[in-house]
Structure 1
Amino acid sequence: MTGNQQQVSPINPSGNRQLLRATLYKMSTTPDYTDYFSERYENQTEKEPYQYQIRMMYLVTYGIVLVLGLSLNVTLVFVGWQRYKSYKKIAIWVLALAATHLIFCGPVVFQLLYAYYDFEWYYGTVTCKLSSYITYGSMYSTATILSLWSFSSAFSKSACIKRSKNCNIFQILFSWTLAAVLAMPSLFSREIQLVRCVDDYDFDDFTTSPDAIKKLKAVVVSRFLFGLFIPAFVMFVSCCVATKSIHNGCVQFLFLCIIKKTFIDACTGSLADLSVLERT
């Protein structure tokens, strides 16, 4: 080896990894998805019991939702169609709810497979976005339909409702439109990070800025407000008003109260809790 030549040191993979981590840390002091998932794989053995519990919770929850959703809503569609002429005022709302929930069962299949394969998404970015969009769109749609149904039942004698022959149809279409708008954040922010289908509210692929955290909090709060608290308040007020005329529509009143109770306790509450749990 001549004097002008310099000895080249061998590549040190361990040193390169440490240098890369130090560089990334200096680039951002805020947590990011890439670091999160890298640490998850490195410490998989330590987190295995916790991950197993979360995975089983998702499997049981989505399994129950899928089985009951398909069986009960298909039954409701059949019964509602058969009894449409006899109970037109109730049947149209029941059919709208059943149709909404049947559409919701589609993404549940992918979510069930997602949990079964240890939260690794193999179905593409478009399916990842649509799965979240339809899920929360169904939640908003169900909440709005039940709220408008409660309002219509409580104020069924008002002149405005009596004059409009297709008032219920317009309200159902409005609920679907509103749900499509409110669920937009899931459609735009949902993406695949490594092998995970998650929400990313930041334009940077490597960092999570304070602005993205604010967007995340705003979306979670809006899901609680428009998916749970506001519909619950409207239903409560409508029930208080409807109790004065319960003798005129006892069947519809009791049927509506049962559906609303089930929705508040099981459907919307579960989706909102899962929303917070997955940080989206």
Structure 2
Amino acid sequence: IASSITPWEHNSFSGGRFPEEQGLCHFSEDYKQIYLSLTYSIIFVLGLPLNATVLWLSWHQTKRWNCATIYLVNLMVADLLYVLTLPFLIITYSMGDWWPFGELLCKLVRFLFYTNLYGSILLLTCISVHRFLSVCHPLRSLPYRTRRHALLGAATTWALVVLQLLPTLGFSHTDYINGHVVCYDTTGPKNFDRYFAYGMVLTLSGFAFPFVVVLVCYTLMVRSLTKPEETFMKAGNAVRAKSIRTILLVCILFTLCFVPFHVTRSFYLTLRFLTSQDCQLLWVASLAYKIWRPLVSMNSCFNPVLYFLSVGNNRVRLLQKLRHNKVGEHPAGAQGERPRGGQVWVLSRCSVGKTSSKTLTMTCLNTVVR
């Protein structure tokens, strides 16, 4: 083990060994060639058809998109854009961390990775806030739970994400290490100090703050949903079940994907910034971060599940049409036909009842499900 550590990451060095003459710790990263190639392949095989199917089903949905569908479709677009870049990473890691696609694609792949990551977090935050308002404040929040506000929220999310991630286009670049081209995941050694400051700010604004908002929303929702008499007066059983499913899945996403990734990444970048002399600690931090880096992309496979759990009964009819190769025909709801399960719990003057009137059903949806 070398006596000192230079605080930079080669990121894509064949064989994963640092040159001894540069005074770096020596540890192997040969696992990346198999592990990253295999993991990204699995995510690509699962994520591409799942997200494409959700977008296709949403496009063929006869009902107007409600707020939840608008957020979820934007989520699927972010996932699909990222999933389409995975073949470049699969080829790169299977070839021993050699990047043959040029600097422009290097910047684009890194940019889309973080766009998917922080776009997903912010869109899930929007979904969580919307669900919180519909459960805890169904009447007072009606003016804010509209399609117009959902479209505005999605557009604002994209704008914030792009603005936050524009610096990654400058930090990410290609370089030559021992005779072959690499694509930096973070940045080169000369700019690492600036990248560390940027990375910490991005972690706070893109992850920590939205995570706190999600926790507050779900804490208040759980407190409300565990009071049967209050829940009964505020929302119907269908809304309550849908809210519980949303809470569980979003919590799983943050627990398995976002939280471990940001914890390991922050710890690893901090050790490099502090030029830690403990090579074994740096190796553990590097291993944890690089193992979780592809796993955070598993959100691209979980997000479509959120769609099927959150969107209304129309998805069932669409899936039945798809199974019987009848998608080209008029789906449920066309020509005046009511979708299956047309009777829904509705909120009317803070009481819950059933109605078969089409006008009242639309009012119900606008009141408690929007």
Cα deviations by residue, 1:134-175 (Å, 9 ceiling, x for unpaired): 110111111000111111221243457437541111111111
Q: Which amino acid aligns with 1:121?
A: W
Partner of 1:215: 194
- Contact kept, 8 Å, 1:133 with 1:187, in 2: the verdict is yes
Match of 1:185 among 162, 167, 185: 167
Partners in 1 of 2:186 and 2:215 — Cα distance?
Answer: 35
- Aligned length in residues: 241
User: For residues 115 and 66 of structure 1, what CA distance do their matches in structure 2 show?
Assistant: 14
Q: Tell me the TM-score normalized by structure 2.
A: 0.55
Q: Could you tell me whether the CA contact under 8 Å between 2:66 and 2:147 is conserved in 1?
A: no
Task: Identify the match of residue 89 of structure 2 among 99, 111, 118.
Answer: 111
Give 1:112 deviation, angstroms: 1.4
Q: Say yes or no: does 1:68 pair with 2:46.
A: yes
The answer (yes or no) to whether the contact 1:137–1:182 under 8 Å persists in 2 is no
User: Considering only aligned residues, what root-mean-square deviation do their CA atoms show, in Å?
Assistant: 3.6
Aligned pairs (5 A) from 1:261-276? 261-269=251-259, 272=262, 273=264, 276=268
Alignment-mate amino acid for residue 35 of structure 2: M
Instruction: Kindly report which structure 2 residues correspond to 1:1-280, keeping only aligned pairs within 5 A, or say none.
Output: 40=17, 50-83=28-61, 85=63, 88-156=66-134, 157=138, 158-159=140-141, 161-162=143-144, 165-194=147-176, 195-198=181-184, 208-209=189-190, 212-243=191-222, 244=224, 248=235, 249-269=239-259, 272=262, 273=264, 276=268, 277=286
**Taking structure 1 as reference, are residues 267 and 65 closer, same or farther at Cα in structure 2, changes over 3 Å only?**
farther
Which secondary structure state, in structure 1, belongs to the residue aligned with residue 100 of structure 2?
A: coil
Partner of 2:340: none
Give the 3-state SS of the residue equivalent to 1:118 in structure 2: coil
Q: Does the CA-based 8 Å contact 1:97-1:145 persist in structure 2?
A: yes
Counterparts of 2:55 and 2:9 in 1: how far apart (Å)? 42
Cα distance in 2 for partners of 1:48, 1:163 equals 55
SS of the counterpart of 2:97? coil
1:214 partner letter: D
Structure 1 gaps, min length 5? 1-28, 203-207
- Deviation string, structure 1 residues 191-248 (Cα, Å, up to 9, x no partner): 111111015757xxxxx45xx3332322332343344332222111111222325652
Larger radius of gyration: 1
Aligned-residue offset at 1:257: 2.1
Structure 2 CA distance, aligned partners of 1:86 and 1:250?
22
Contact 1:83 1:91 in 2 (8 A): no
Structure 2: gaps spanning 5 or more residues: 226-230, 269-285, 294-370
**Percent of aligned pairs with the same amino acid:** 20
Q: Deviation at 1:31?
A: 6.3
Relative to structure 1, is the Cα distance of residues 33 and 257 closer, same or farther in structure 2, using a 3 angstrom cutoff? Answer: closer
**Structure 1's 260 and 32: CA in aligned 2 closer, same or farther, altered over 3 A?**
closer
| Higher relative helix content | 1
Considering Cα pairs closer than 8 Å and 6+ residues apart, tell me whether 1 or 2 has the greater RCO. 2
SS of residue paired to 1:127:
helix
